[in-house]
Amino acid sequence: MTELKSKYPPMTLNMAPAPEHQPSRALSGYGNPDLNSGSSLLMIQSVTVSFDGFKALNDLSFAVAERELRAIIGPNGAGKTTFMDVVTGKTRPDRGRVMFGATDLLRRTEASIAQLGIGRKFQRPTVFEEQTVFENLTLALANPRSPSASIAYRMSAGDRDRIHEIAGLIHLSDVLDVASGSLSHGQKQWLEIGMVLAQQPRLLLVDEPAAGMTPAERDRTVTILRNVAETCAVVVIEHDMEFVRNLSCRVTVLNEGMVLAEGSMDDVVRNEDVIDVYLGR
Ligand code: ADP
Ligand code: MG
């Protein structure tokens, strides 16, 4: 954090998104997703979540475009995980609006939200350790929410192709026949991402993917998430600033349940408010 401070000395307060540094992807939504434009894939409006009177989210508004890659940073307790809990239907807000395209997520159950195409990769691994990478991906493709459907499932050639495609995306093509329990920590995380991708989400939510990874695994995770964002929107919560910088996407800084700043990484690390509450002086 101190390193960041010296590299990016405080300048003028600048809450506007950076006009420079457009990523090459045409549909990145990097420009400035307008809350009212109707072009957003995910739109959060004035969402408040209280736990015993404490506001974990406090009138939070923010939007993510189709196929956008977005990073969320912020101090512990800022409400980052609660935001994901609201989007996936795990936590119900006291008030506000949560739209996924034209669908009002607040009227949906957690299971129905997943079926709409919102996938979440949890921090705690949930792969079947005894099963190979291929088998885990097969189970995810078949239907993870229905064990009986998985048993009755028969693989088509298309599914096999899809598994190989996903394995390539998550850099596990060479270990398809390896038991998942013997994968490295990073490889297990990628497999988990692959298992969510098998569900063909339109939005992937990832909470602190780089935690516990080696530097090489982190770099590869950046590549994976950037590639995933070619076909589906990805929202990544992460503490590792180098990791977030390498994602080179729009960054939202949360603090006390609100958006403190939003823009390019260069923008937000120069932002006076961000330096005050997050990076430290
Ligand atoms: P972050 O992920 O940014 O670290 P969280 O969203 O996990 O923050 O938490 C935001 C705040 O809400 C914290 O103060 C946390 O203690 C509180 N909180 C989160 N979930 C619950 C819960 N289920 N019950 C009570 N308080 C909670
Ligand atoms: Mg959290």
pLDDT by residue (tens digit) across 6-22? Answer: 333 333 333 333 333 33
Q: Whose CA is nearest to atom 14 of ligand 1?
A: 77
Is residue 204 within 8 Å of 235, Cβ to Cβ? yes
The DSSP output letter for 258 is E
Contacts of 2 (CB under 8 A, 6+ apart): 280
Instruction: Choose the residue to mutate in 50, 55, 57, 81 for probing ligand 1, maximizing ligand atoms within 8 Å of C-beta.
Output: 81
pLDDT of residue 125: 66
Q: 127 is written with which tokens? A: 């792969």
Instruction: Choose the residue to mutate in 49, 50, 51 for probing ligand 1, maximizing ligand atoms within 8 Å of C-beta.
Output: 51
Q: What is the three-class DSSP state of 206?
A: strand
Q: Which helix (H) or strand (E) holds 50?
A: strand 40-51
pLDDT digits (tens, 9 = 90+) for 81-137: 999 999 999 999 999 999 999 999 999 999 999 999 999 997 666 789 999 999 999
CA of 5 to the centre of ligand 2 (A): 23
CA of 230 to the centre of ligand 1 (A): 31
* Delimiting residues of CATH 3.40.50.300 domain(s) in the chain: 27-117+201-281
pLDDT of residue 124: 66
pLDDT of residue 32: 42
pLDDT of residue 149: 58
User: According to CATH, what is the number of the domain 27-117+201-281?
Assistant: 3.40.50.300
137-143-148 Cα angle (round to 5) = 120
List, for the chain, all residue ranges whose pLDDT scores fall below the cut of 50.
1-37, 144-145
CA of 80 to the centre of ligand 2 (A): 5
What CA–CA distance (Å, rounded) separates 82 from 80? Answer: 5
CA of 79 to the centre of ligand 1 (A): 6
